[in-house]
């Protein structure tokens, strides 16, 4: 299918075209950048909800419940579940769609698992682009589930309007482990598996880490198993978006800025890969000075000559990179 036809069908909400486009972007197939560019202008901005937390906290089961709640409100939903990569195939190892199978026949819900492919930060390198595909397809709410994360996997804050961190009553001193990383970017704490008991203790524990708080954290106990607290969580999410419109708008600007920078860097890498001279220079500097190699390549790309002769401000070899 031609890129133009694929884009048109995707924007019309065709799920098969959306699936094909995601595969194209995830695999970085030929023409994927042209496809993404053809999606603009995007429809009204979707609400992007990031769901993060440690392995076993019940993120996928929670999302399944959230989908049901959102559909009751009439919202169309897209789910992107980032799974650990298979060390053999590089594909998604767990396939969280299995846990959300009851929504598979709903035309207004689209669920896709992708592999992290070794990318650090809890997401995949193609996450931001796939979010745009969901937006172009008209999904009003996009749920992004990270891989099971630890202290420093905080990339979700650059992709979501609202970040939910899922904990459980049995998570021990997990708050202390997360404190220097994920806690700082969390908008709403979700204490899952509240039906097992001990949720009140975990809620108090979370609050104690923000004491004395200038603004108390939002903590919602839920049970993905029974559905308890899911409606309250949904209300908390929408209340947050209403109360923090400026913050969400600022995140949206950063999202676009980061995407522009990513596109620029990808174009530079593509140009280096396509230029035998630059590629050879890159390879030949394996045991040399990386700063010198970078400056030489930069001059070749931007300043018009590998020897820097076209730029009077060029700093000669041995000088501080600039």
CB burial of 119-145 (b: ≥16 within 10 Å; e: otherwise) equals bebbbbbbbbbbbbbbbbbbbbbbbbb
Which residues fall within 8 angstroms of residue 5, CB to CB, at 6 or more apart? Answer: none
CA distances from 19 to 37, 58, 80, 98, 288 (A): 17, 26, 12, 17, 44
Number of structural domains (the chain) is 1
Which comes out higher in pLDDT, residue 115 or 27?
Answer: 27
Is residue 313 assigned to a domain?
A: no
In the chain, DSSP finds a helix count (H) and a strand count (E) of 12, 7
pLDDT recorded at residue 20: 95
Is residue 187 assigned to a domain?
A: yes
- Of how many residues is the chain composed? 322
Q: Are 164 and 49 in contact (CB under 8 A)?
A: yes
Query: Residue 322: pLDDT band by 50, 70, 90 thresholds?
Result: very low
Is residue 255 assigned to a domain?
A: no
The predicted-structure confidence for 11-21, as pLDDT tens digits, reads as follows: 999 999 999 99
Is residue 193 assigned to a domain?
A: yes
Q: Which of 223, 176, 178 is closest to 197 using CA atoms?
A: 223
The predicted-structure confidence for 168-227, as pLDDT tens digits, reads as follows: 887 665 565 555 567 778 899 999 999 888 888 888 888 887 766 667 789 999 999 999
Is residue 106 assigned to a domain?
A: yes
Which comes out higher in pLDDT, residue 10 or 286?
Answer: 10
Residue 99 has pLDDT above 70, yes or no: no
Determine the straight-line distance between the first and last CA of the chain, rounded to whole angstroms: 46
The predicted-structure confidence for 227-242, as pLDDT tens digits, reads as follows: 999 999 999 999 999 9
Is residue 275 assigned to a domain?
A: no
Task: Give the pairing of strands 141-145 and 47-53.
Answer: parallel
Tell me the mean pLDDT in the region 67-86: 87
Is residue 170 assigned to a domain?
A: yes
Q: Which CATH number does the domain housing residue 219 bear?
A: 3.40.50.300
Query: Residue 92: pLDDT band by 50, 70, 90 thresholds?
Result: very low
Is residue 64 assigned to a domain?
A: yes
pLDDT recorded at residue 54: 81
Task: Residue 79: give the domain boundaries.
Answer: 42-243
Tell me the mean pLDDT in the region 94-110: 72
- Angle separating helix axes 276-284 and 245-274, nearest 10 degrees: 100
Residue 283 has pLDDT above 90, yes or no: no
pLDDT recorded at residue 282: 78
Mean pLDDT of the chain: 80
pTM: 0.82
Q: Are 124 and 117 in contact (CB under 8 A)?
A: yes
d(CA 303, CA 311) in angstroms, rounded, equals: 6
């Amino acid at each position: 299918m031609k890129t133009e036809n694929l884009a048109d069908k995707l924007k019309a909400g065709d799920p098969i075209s959306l699936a094909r486009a995601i595969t194209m972007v995830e695999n970085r197939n030929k023409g994927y950048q042209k496809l993404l560019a053809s999606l603009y202008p995007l429809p009204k901005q979707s609400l992007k909800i990031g769901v993060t937390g440690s392995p076993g906290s019940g993120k996928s089961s929670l999302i399944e419940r959230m989908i049901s709640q959102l559909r009751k409100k009439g919202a169309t939903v897209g789910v992107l579940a980032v799974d650990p990569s298979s060390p053999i195939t590089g594909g998604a190892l767990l396939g969280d769609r299995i846990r959300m199978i009851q929504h598979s026949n709903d035309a207004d819900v689209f669920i896709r698992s992708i592999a992290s492919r070794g990318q650090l930060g809890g997401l995949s390198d193609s996450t931001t682009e796939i979010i745009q595909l969901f937006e172009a397809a008209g999904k009003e709410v996009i749920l992004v589930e990270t891989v099971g994360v630890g202290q420093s996997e905080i990339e979700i804050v650059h992709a979501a309007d609202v970040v939910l961190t899922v904990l459980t009553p049995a998570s021990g001193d997990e708050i202390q482990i997360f404190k220097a990383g994920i806690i700082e970017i969390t908008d709403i704490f979700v204490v899952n598996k509240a039906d097992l008991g001990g949720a009140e203790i975990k809620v108090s524990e979370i609050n104690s880490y923000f004491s004395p708080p200038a603004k108390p954290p939002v903590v919602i106990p839920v049970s993905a198993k029974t559905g308890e607290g899911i409606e309250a969580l949904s209300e908390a999410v929408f209340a947050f978006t209403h109360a923090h419109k400026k913050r969400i708008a600022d995140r949206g600007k950063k999202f676009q800025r980061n995407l522009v920078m990513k596109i620029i860097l990808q174009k530079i890498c593509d140009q280096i890969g396509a230029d035998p001279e630059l590629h050879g220079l890159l390879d030949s500097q394996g045991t040399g000075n990386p700063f010198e190699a970078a400056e030489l390549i930069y001059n070749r790309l931007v300043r018009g000559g590998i020897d820097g002769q076209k730029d009077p401000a060029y700093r000669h070899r041995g000088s501080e990179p600039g």
